[in-house]
A and B are shown apart, each in its own frame.
Chain A
């Protein structure tokens, strides 16, 4: 791990979070992309730093051999993130076509709930005489 790599990952997470906290769907997708870059980088940083590829028989010029496991994980993650990004973009497109806006507005129902005043049905005095079924 290097300080430079760690700083880059931290900045990617911070900027990604800031973008995700906005209302425009396309910016949210960009924010998620930045965060996954940051996460991938963090996983790669668990290796020894500058290294030679984990290919057996290759000549690395004295560098240590990189850890292949995080690489396999990150490779999977990169491609998956691409698939998810495509899906989210299609979702944003659909949402834009349907609502005419790229922004996610507040849920009106939820707003109403938070303002609602519920009146409880409270037990009336127990003075009732009822005919049975």
Chain B
């Protein structure tokens, strides 16, 4: 795989693709409540984008695409998911039972915001964090990246 490295065209192409892939992953996350998708699928698509970045430019490119450490994503995601569960409790619902608000935005129409979305975002972040962590730890390549994975 490393023979593909160093090709500027490939790297440019991958970065071009991985941007839309990340956008698509966010779309899956938001659409998931009503259409196929959700935090798991969205997070995995983002993981694929990271993998592509690694194939194109190694760890350096991965770091450029997602300049955050894996542990931050994991911790933040897990915390967000847990907090959203407790938030429902404070709203008088059961743990993790979702409530929703409905309001209209001019020009868009009615928009429903479901509290479960926060939970799903937590799931999404954990999955992205896991993919990032695995790629960084296991994909570390001594020939290209001498420095240790962060």
Contacts and interface: CB of A to CB of B under 8 A. Distances in A.
B134 A79 contact: no
Interface of A is mostly: helix
A79 B40 contact: yes
A55 B127 contact: no
A83 B47 CA distance: 13
Interface in B12-50: 34-36, 40
B138 interface: yes
B10 interface: no
Interface size bracket, B side: under 10
Contacts of B34: 55
A90 B138 contact: yes
A75 B36 contact: no
Interface size bracket, A side: under 10
Between A55, A86, A89, the greatest number of chain B beta carbons within 10 A of the residue's beta carbon is seen for A86
A83 B35 contact: no
A53 interface: yes
Interface of B: 34-36, 40, 127, 130, 134, 137-138
Interface of A: 53, 55, 75, 79, 83, 86, 89-90
